[in-house]
A and B are shown apart, each in its own frame.
Chain A
Amino acid sequence: MGSQHLDFTANVTEALADRQLRANFKSALTGLMKKRVAVLPNAEEIERMRDDAEAAKRNALAKLPELLERLERKCTENGIIVHWAETTAEANDIILGIMRSHDATKLVKGKSMVSEEMHLNHFLETHGIEALETDLGEFIIQLNHEPPSHIIVPAVHKNRQQVGRIFADNLEGIPYTDVVEELNAIARKTLREKFRTGHVGLSGVNFAVAETGTLVLVENEGNGRMCTTVPPVHVAVMGLEKVVESLSDLPPLLRLLTASATGQLVTTYVNCITSPRKEGERDGPKEIHLVILDNGRSRMLADAQLRRTLQCIRCGTCLNHCPVYIRIGGHAYGSVYPGPIGKILTPQIDGLAEKGVLATASSLCNACEEVCPVRIPIPGIIRRMRTEAYDEKDDGVVKGHGAKKNLLETLVWKGWELTYRIPALNRFVVSMLGKFGDKLPNVGPLKAWTSVRTAPRFAPKSLHQLAKEEGIRHE
């Protein structure tokens, strides 16, 4: 993970060969797509909500530095301690410091993709701190020592039989069952004890409201509320793009987030956290920290097109609708953020040399752009990743730009340009293909094509010729 070498082709081969995995994804994601449509109103209304949600995020990004400062000021007034981290290493150190200042050795975690981006669990373990995932899906895969395969439903690649097996193998005294209610009861019983004994609770943040200094967290299992209220210390982590200007920005964002993510009108819990426990109050954490992470985000913010990556509200619906993700699943991407959003986010965070290959894993079908609640032009940014990967000039801005530049492809595309720019050359090449195209050696791209298809055929007479012969006017 992280900056480790990614062998995407090997991952894809393995994922595609796993029939159970493909069946699990297809069934779960088809269900999520149907649920989304069921809770969204007519097309016109959806577009109006998308207008509002997109505007709220773009407005926030347009004045991000100012809003972040306002957020810090309001949070501080409210008694929340704000920390800034430029890198994931800094963020990890901040959290370790908080844990140590309380002599804490047990962290209970609500779901947080930023903490995955930081590889926080692994980092804390190396410092003798136990980090326990309490989101049901995260809990399942943590028991099985796996990373999430989806940003909303992290154990979506497991069916109930597999979950039953994981519980029976990893939890003491638990017999195998594949009854969903029994599985839920096992998880609840195990987790309640952990909440009770956790020293510090960690959560992500869906939206941070600059106007009021409010941290908004949506969830369905109540584990988020437990993590943020039961332990005496709460640490919230967020990427710096999570800030919105005012409370009035929230309704369209929340509505579209929950509809897109889980097909719900509203989540079971909507936590709005504004301050630690005050004098005379009987519950809530005594101390709240907010860690705001950059990790390459400022670099995205500086470019008008790439900035739109930061509009993402992590609903995961682009994953659910992606024909590539549906087939290869999340682990194949070898990255914290898989699917369409991962194809644009990961290369920008980890660099094109390491993760540029992810941008090739798209047919540019535009399904992601069609459903994105905040209208991120994902296919356009995928193209940008591809362009930057070959761009060694100084105008590249993504980390590792030019990493894929090579003589062969440069020459092939130069030849392509000449063939389609110069009419006489075009006529010659097309007529040659018509005569000898079926004798092309089965190597390179043609071999890839014919692995599952018959070879393309070339017509003896081109459309140019047929049109001319039929006397179609040509000017």
Chain B
Amino acid sequence: MAHTFTYPRDVKTVYYFGTCLVDMSFPQAGMAGIHLLRRAGVEVVFPQEQSCCGQPAYNSGFLEEARAVARAQIKAFSKADWPIVVPSGSCAGMMRHHYPEMFANDPEYFDVRKFSERVFELGDFLHNALHVRYEDKGKPVKVTWHSSCHAMREMGATAAAKALIGQLSNVELVEIEREYECCGFGGTFSIKQPEISAAMVADKVEDIRATGASAILSGDCGCLMNIGGAMERTGVPVAPRHLAEFIWERING
């Protein structure tokens, strides 16, 4: 899926959809995303009624439950037509591409499609809509990058993430072998097929270790929880970091 999005110009205000996983387990990464947007001169609105994009149920075969939760999100972001920025390629992909599919045969289809066209992945938005410039204040460090499958294949956000990392002068980015390959998370896949998922993440950890990087960056906390949990279990000393949190630390010294 190669996608070319139309990015809004002269953005003054954006909605922020934090995602359920960031909300529960990685709120600091979520806040870093908000800070980066505000630093770029954009006002951020975080509707408190938001929760989850619905992907877990959608991918597990529970379509009606997914639709009910999706409707609640669409409602929570309906008061203005600001862009909706998401610190996750996977959740952004769900809202951008799969919401219209889920409601293809419903009267609200066109409203859903309008909602979906406002959805952007955070790194992609910072780079391609806000054209941010960063000055690195951190010490020299070697990092590697992992794109979630949906950040890469649904949101086309990999190049933007690398461009942002490239702005950090003291950060050396080493690419991982088989960078295109899934880390084995896949939401409920990791618990429905735990052995296959375990084999996938073990290989990913090995490829990460081989880069010699001290941190693995990603724009998706699902992958980071999977890879990070496996690295912690096996004693691989590489820090899993969300891109937004990493950048926020680097530019604040």
Contact = CB atoms under 8 A, between A and B. Distances in A.
Q: Tell me, yes or no, whether A binds B.
A: yes
A280 interface: no
A288 B205 CA distance: 55
A366 B1 contact: yes
Max chain A C-beta neighbours (<10 A), residue from B51, B58, B63: B51
Interface in A420-475: 420-421, 423, 426, 430, 433-434, 437, 445, 448-449, 451-459, 461-468, 470, 472-475
Contacts of A437: 24
At the interface, is chain A mostly helix, strand, loop or mixed?
A: helix
A390 B188 CA distance: 15
A15 to B, nearest CB: 9
Contact of A459 (B24, B225, B230): B24
Contacts of A387: 61-63
Nearest to B185: A363
A420 B61 contact: no
A263 to B, nearest CB: 17
A7 interface: no
A474 to B, nearest CB: 5
Contact of A430 (B24, B31, B182): B24
A362 B2 contact: no
B48 A463 contact: no
B189 A363 contact: yes
A414 interface: yes
A453 B226 contact: yes
A470 B31 contact: yes
B54 A420 contact: yes
B57 A413 contact: yes
Given A366-B153, A367-B153, 17 more contacts: A362-B189, A363-B185, A363-B189, A383-B59, A386-B59, A390-B61, A421-B51, A434-B24, A452-B230, A456-B25, A456-B225, A459-B27, A459-B28, A464-B48, A467-B46, A467-B48, A475-B48
Nearest to A44: B2
Contact of B31 (A327, A423, A463, A473): A463
Interface of A: 9, 12-13, 16, 43, 47, 323-324, 327-328, 360-367, 369-370, 380, 383, 386-391, 404, 409, 413-414, 416-417, 419-421, 423, 426, 430, 433-434, 437, 445, 448-449, 451-459, 461-468, 470, 472-475
B206 interface: no
Contact of A473 (B44, B187, B193, B226): B44
A91 to B, nearest CB: 33
Given A323-B184, A386-B61, A454-B232, A16 B24 contact: no
A350 to B, nearest CB: 18
A367 B149 contact: yes
Contacts of B180: 367
Contact of A464 (B23, B63, B154): B23
17 contacts: A43-B2, A47-B2, A327-B196, A367-B180, A413-B62, A420-B54, A433-B24, A437-B24, A453-B233, A454-B229, A454-B232, A459-B25, A462-B24, A464-B18, A466-B27, A472-B44, A472-B45
